[in-house]
Amino acid sequence: MNLVLLGPPGSGKGTLAKLLSSQLNIPHISTGDILREEAESGTSLGKKVKPFMEKGELVPDQTILEVMKERIRSSECQKGFLLDGFPRNFHQALELDDMLKNSTKSIDMVIKFDVSDDCVLKRLGGRLICSGCGADFNRYTKPPQKDLMCDFCGSQLYQRPDDAQEVILNRLKVYKEQAMPVEKYYNNQGKLRRINAELDPSLILKNVLNILQSKKE
Ligand code: AP5
């Protein structure tokens, strides 16, 4: 199954993708995670994308498309994939279809995460990441037992640079401008399903699995 998770920053795409990926046994491809790894390792790609990410702007299409072409062609994706953070504008959606056409595949379903701006601001403002094992915590929804210390490995927790308030606001603005045509594109193809993304992650997972099941029947 080839799935796309579409939704504003902080809507919970990454959180659900991890749960869904292990349930469906398909890889979770997060463009944000790929780009952050490159930026942290200081590769030439990382140096190129870092200034865009720090401001909450999209990295240039050509750059992300090169990354995704390689991923989608890889053996890892042959049995299906779960895309988190891609496509993010209309051009990327068209290019994705083009990439898949060459291997006679297509997108089966797009899950759209519905969440309010207030919820996004609270979730992202509270997000903390472990510098050691990468575990996700949240001051409001999933607090660590000890302040700024990982429950699993004891390393220091940090805030993602793009989770600063002014950058969150820009990410939301960029999302609203760029993602609406993507939503419309998949809706016109009958592939879009909306979910209430303000529920508990376990309930969201259950709802999404039900949606996927009803497609099969
Ligand atoms: P990316 O990493 O994709 O950022 P994003 O879309 O803004 O996604 P987030 O990771 O912030 O949010 P999420 O929806 O995954 O929520 P999460 O599950 O983490 O992209 C970063 C940057 O990379 C972009 O700004 C851009 O520069 C660049 N980029 C990436 N893709 C690109 C592309 N295709 N084209 C061009 N540029 C690209 O959850 C967030 C928090 O909420 C966590 O603390 C979590 O614990 C909590 N939470 C999640 N779900 C729930 C829930 N149900 N209930 C309570 N708390 C919850």
pLDDT at 216 over 80: no
pLDDT at 217 over 80: no
Catalytically annotated residue among 50, 71, 112, 127: 127
Decide: 90 in ligand 1 pocket, CB within 6 A: no
Confidence of residue 33 (pLDDT cuts 50, 70, 90): very high
pLDDT at 215 over 90: no
Helix or strand holding residue 14 (H, E): helix 13-24
pTM of the model: 0.96
Taking the centre of ligand 1 as the mean of its atom positions, its distance from the CA of residue 14, in whole angstroms, is 6
For this structure, is 160 an active site residue?
A: yes
pLDDT at 154 over 80: yes
Decide: 56 in ligand 1 pocket, CB within 6 A: yes
* Contact call for residues 16 and 208 (beta carbons, < 8 A): yes
Copy the structure tokens of residue 6: 């579409």
Decide: 12 in ligand 1 pocket, CB within 6 A: yes
For this structure, is 139 an active site residue?
A: no
* Contact call for residues 110 and 193 (beta carbons, < 8 A): yes
Q: Which domains does the chain have, with CATH numbers?
A: 2-116+166-216 (3.40.50.300)
pLDDT digits (tens, 9 = 90+) for 107-126: 999 999 999 999 999 999 99
What distances in angstroms separate CA 174 from CA 8, 94, 135, 215, one per listed residue?
9, 19, 27, 31
